[in-house]
């Protein structure tokens, strides 16, 4: 029995990056032997075990064969006679098809180290074409490492799209890869890779505006990446720049909080991207707060504003955010309970509370207008 570290851990160590997750392959063993050594079986489709102390995953070396369309249509074969090279051959990219022995020696049968040095994403074998998820994964790696895509790999991806493989992807899986790609350091490259092979409009309809580094939408998204903003802020940017995001969020079944954020940014776009809030616009600002449900859940508006900072001209972003957040704080400070207690006509309470909030907003906007003068 021999144990090797494989995949992303080997790749990242060679790149000088922190190694977060460790994956291990066991060659020449059996499930019975693994269990006798204290490993706990967890794999349903093929033998994967948890280490008794580190709880890291150890998988028996295996091969795979496609037996049906889509990314679920595979059968796996794991046995002591499967070699390390055979196991590595089933992996997606050469940079992910390297192993490291306990002696520290790198096993690289498919040229992963050369592709790392050249900054190239290249498929290991034609087996890449059997799993459409790999197109999305490759796009993520392009966005993470800023690597180019080998011409033969791009050609294979295009063939997969034409064959209808990408259409078999379920929305939840597309969302999983999309949300990760959006969080990479160069997210525009995620969209570009999908667009270049023809998969963008199939997987992410309405995202065409993010497939070119020359658009203002892409530049806004890259600003968010440079600032290392979180996923909600990047989703807000998508919605502020592209009107199709509401339908996409529904189709891909985004988490409900992100769907709500998307609707807010789409419906309130004209107000969120407003470059100036004069005193007389207090009523419009109040409607924005009400639309965002900001008196009960201010976090969603704050997320939208964080995205807004990246979309409006840089000189305006932070001042606008400060203005709106201070105005919201002032409006939330209005004591609705006191107003209700002093009201002689209960039917007038909502009107009185709203008027008091608008007055509070006027004060804040007047203060900011005075500072500009």
Q: Return the structure tokens found at 236.
A: 């807000």
Taking a C-beta distance cutoff of 8 angstroms, is the pair 250, 283 a contact?
no
Q: Does domain 1-116 have CATH number 3.40.50.11710?
A: no
pLDDT tens, residue by residue, 5-39 = 999 999 999 999 999 889 999 999 999 999 999 99
pLDDT, position 212: 84
Q: Return the structure tokens found at 303.
A: 């997320």
| CA distances to 7, 178, 183, 198, 370 from 135, in Å | 17, 11, 17, 11, 54
Instruction: Assign residue 273 a region (left: φ > 0; alpha: ψ between -120 and 50; beta: otherwise).
Output: alpha
pLDDT, position 283: 96
pLDDT, position 66: 57
Q: What is the DSSP letter of 287?
A: H
d(C-alpha 62, C-alpha 84), whole Å: 9
Question: What are the domain boundaries of the chain?
Answer: 1-116, 271-372
| Burial environment of residue 4 by CB neighbours within 10 A (0 to 12, 13 to 18, 19 or more) | buried
The position carrying tokens 């992100």 is: 258
Question: Helical H runs in 227-297?
Answer: 231-241, 245-251, 256-267, 269-272, 282-291
- The list of the chain residues with pLDDT below 70 reads 45, 65-75, 371-373
| CA distances to 241, 255, 273, 306 from 268, in Å | 12, 20, 9, 14
pLDDT, position 79: 86
pLDDT, position 214: 79
pLDDT, position 76: 73
């Amino acid at each position: 029995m021999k144990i090797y570290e494989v995949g992303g851990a080997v790749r990242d160590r060679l790149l000088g990056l922190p190694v977060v997750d460790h994956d291990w392959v066991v060659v020449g063993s059996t499930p019975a032997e693994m269990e006798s050594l204290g490993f706990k079986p967890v794999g349903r489709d093929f033998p994967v075990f948890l280490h008794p102390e580190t709880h890291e995953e150890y998988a028996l070396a295996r091969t795979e064969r496609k037996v049906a369309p889509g990314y679920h249509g595979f059968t796996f074969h794991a046995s002591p006679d499967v070699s390390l090279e055979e196991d590595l051959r089933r992996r997606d990219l050469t940079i992910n098809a390297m192993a490291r022995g306990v002696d520290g020696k790198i096993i690289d049968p498919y040229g992963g180290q050369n592709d790392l040095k050249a900054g190239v994403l290249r498929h290991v074998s034609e087996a890449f074409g059997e799993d459409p998820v790999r197109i999305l994964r490759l796009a993520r790696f392009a966005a993470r490492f800023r690597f180019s895509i080998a011409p033969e790999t791009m050609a294979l991806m295009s063939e997969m799209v034409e064959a209808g493989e990408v259409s078999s992807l379920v929305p939840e899986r597309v969302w999983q890869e999309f949300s990760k790609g959006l969080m990479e350091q160069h997210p525009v490259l995620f969209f570009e890779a999908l667009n270049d092979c023809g998969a963008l409009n199939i997987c992410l309809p309405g995202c065409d505006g993010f497939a070119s580094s020359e658009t203002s939408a892409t530049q806004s998204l890259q600003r968010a990446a440079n600032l290392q903003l979180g996923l909600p802020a990047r989703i807000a940017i998508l919605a502020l720049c592209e009107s199709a995001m509401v339908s996409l969020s529904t189709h891909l079944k985004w988490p409900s909080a992100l769907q709500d954020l998307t609707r807010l940014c789409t419906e309130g776009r004209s107000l969120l991207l407003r470059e100036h809030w004069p005193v007389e616009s207090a009523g419009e600002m109040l409607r924005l707060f009400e639309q965002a449900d900001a008196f009960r859940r201010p976090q969603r508006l704050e997320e939208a504003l964080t995205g807004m900072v990246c979309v409006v001209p840089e000189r305006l972003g932070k001042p606008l955010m400060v203005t709106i957040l201070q105005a919201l704080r002032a409006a939330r400070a209005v004591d609705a309970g006191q107003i209700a207690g002093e009201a002689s006509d209960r039917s007038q309470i909502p009107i009185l509370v709203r008027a008091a909030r608008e007055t509070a907003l006027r004060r804040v906007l007047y203060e900011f207008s005075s500072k500009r003068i």
